[in-house]
Amino acid sequence: MAIGTISDLKDQLSFTDDIGDADDGLLQRKLDAAQSHVERMLGFKIEECFGGEDQDPIPPDLIEAVLQLGAWWYEQRETAVTGTIVAEVPYGVQELVNGYREWTW
**To 5 degrees, how large is the angle CA 91–CA 73–CA 30?**
125
What's phi and psi for 97, nearest 5 deg?
-80, -35
Q: How confident is the model at residue 45 (pLDDT cuts 50, 70, 90)?
A: very high
Backbone angles phi, psi at 50, to 5 degrees: -135, 150
- Higher-confidence residue of 15 and 81: namely 15
CB 91 within 8 A of CB 65: no
pLDDT of 66 higher than 90: yes
Contact 97, 41 (CB under 8 A): yes
